[in-house]
Structure 1
Amino acid sequence: MSLGNPYKELKLSISGELGRALSGVCADPNILTQLEDIIEEPPKREFGDLSIHLARLSKLCNTSLENLASLLVSSLEKLSLVDKTIVVDNYLNIFVNYAVFSARVLNTIASYDSRYGTIDNYVKKRVIVEYVSANPVHPLHLGSGRNAVLGDFLYRLNKFLGNEVQRRYYVNDVGLQAAFLAYGYYKLGFPNIPPGMKPDHYLGLIYAATTTIIDILKLKKSLREAEASGDFSKASEIRNEIDSLIGDLARLAEVIPNEVNTLSEKIASE
């Protein structure tokens, strides 16, 4: 569970009030333990922030839909977190009191400070975030900037959670991507596209192999410098990056083994 999760607390508050309201109506006590799962997020904003499928709950509690709706409306509107409730067809739509809820969110953030958003017993993952991926042969536009912001946010969020994160295509450097591809293609002697492989897929693999090899060589140089200066912590980080890239290169070699071997030899010899 996330530390200080106001949204989770909102649903618990509502499900708790539902439980109290239904305790004298539902004969099956197990239903009261499932109430949090019955609270849904509606597909459209006009249907509220949360909703309850009354027909489903009415069937579980073996009571009329009208009586159930009346009971829940009068109960939920007692909560300070609830602004209003509206019954539409078979759904009870719940609108959150944003003034109260926002205050709770801000107070929670202030209380947990840098720990806000962390998750107990979180299993760390290896994540790749690919962005901006703007094509250097076309003009940049508003969407390129939007993708940059979203991509960097996802990177920082995953880093905050403790994941091992790589950023790719962060900036296309106005043609550097094409230059790496041309360099690798040249080093391979301008090969023909293998039978059964799409041209863009094959060229993409050459580009990926070329950049990965160059990155490994750069990191090996940085590793020697870190070791020479006695910065063993930095050296350890660089080794991990190298190991990760070697793994990427091995996966590329499973698809284009000859090309990877040739590029490794020719680029390293320069």
Structure 2
Amino acid sequence: MIAENPFAVFRSECEKSLRKALKKQFPKTEIASVALEKPPNPDFGQLASSLCFELSKQVGQKPLAIAEKLASAVSKPKSSLIERVASAGGGYINFHVDFDKFSTLTVESTRKLDTEYGFVKAEGPLKIIVEHTSANPLHPIHIGQARNPMLGDTIARLLKSRGHTVLRHYYIDDVGRQSSVVAYGYEK
């Protein structure tokens, strides 16, 4: 298996496992979304859910009791990136990643995807115009004007690698007031 974003695979597994455990333990409850966030301390796992606090209002049980039931009900397939699930802190459910499997997935994905690894494609590609550089022809070029083409082109390349249609525009400041003054002065 390869993945453009191994952590997204882990997150997805955690969400699916938590939804299954929720259906198993509390079949009559309805939860619209299962929010997973990064815990404040890595010792608490890589992802945590505060779902039990919301669920306790519907079920009428303490959040910690709900967390213990859900953590014990989580079933994970053999190939899962989830190492273990634990209840903690008064009602949180903590998910710990299996670092051996996670690192294997990451290395395999990096090897197979090569330069495409790490570039997550945009869900809805856009048509984007990147305007940059605009060096003033009446003044000497300085380091800031040398930096701008590099920044503009880098931004354009990053957007293109995400799947957007990118048009690059380079405007030379030859149509403004200063060019008119130069042309007028040249004629005199």
TM over 0.5: yes
Q: Distance in 2 between matches of 1:40 and 1:105?
A: 21
Higher normalized contact order (CA 8 Å, seq sep 6+, divided by chain length): 2
Residue 76 of structure 1: CA displacement? 4.2
Higher helix proportion (structure 1 or 2):
1
| 1:34 equivalent in structure 2 | 33
Give runs of aligned pairs for residues 77-92 of structure 1, distance below 5 A. Answer: 78=76, 80-84=80-84, 85=86, 87-92=88-93
When the two structures are superposed, what TM-score results if normalisation uses the length of structure 1? Answer: 0.45
Counterpart code for 1:100: K
The share of aligned pairs that are identical, in percent, is 25
**Residues 152/94 of structure 1: CA separation in 2 closer, same or farther (3 Å cut):** farther
Q: Distance in 2 between matches of 1:77 and 1:87?
A: 18
Count how many residue pairs are aligned between Structure 1 and Structure 2. Answer: 160
| 1:98 equivalent in structure 2 | 99
When the two structures are superposed, what TM-score results if normalisation uses the length of structure 2? Answer: 0.60
The answer on whether the counterparts of 2:87 and 2:94 sit within 8 Å (CA) in structure 1 is yes
Give runs of aligned pairs for residues 1-270 of structure 1, distance below 5 A. Answer: 4-28=4-28, 30-31=30-31, 34-35=33-34, 38-53=35-50, 54-76=52-74, 78=76, 80-84=80-84, 85=86, 87-116=88-117, 117-126=120-129, 156-163=157-164, 241-242=169-170, 245=171, 260-261=176-177, 263-266=178-181
RMSD: 4.1
Deviations 1:177-220 (A, max 9, x none): xxxxxxxxxxxxxxxxxxxxxxxxxxxxxxxxxxxxxxxxxxxx
| 2:137 equivalent in structure 1 | none
Residue 6 of structure 1: CA displacement? 2.5
What 5-or-longer segments of structure 1 have no aligned partner? 130-135, 137-150, 166-236, 254-259
Q: Distance in 2 between matches of 1:118 and 1:78?
A: 28
Counterpart code for 2:169: E
Q: Distance in 1 between matches of 2:7 and 2:39?
A: 15
Residue 40 of structure 1: CA displacement? 1.8
Structure having the higher Rg = 1
Higher strand proportion (structure 1 or 2):
2
Counterpart code for 2:47: L
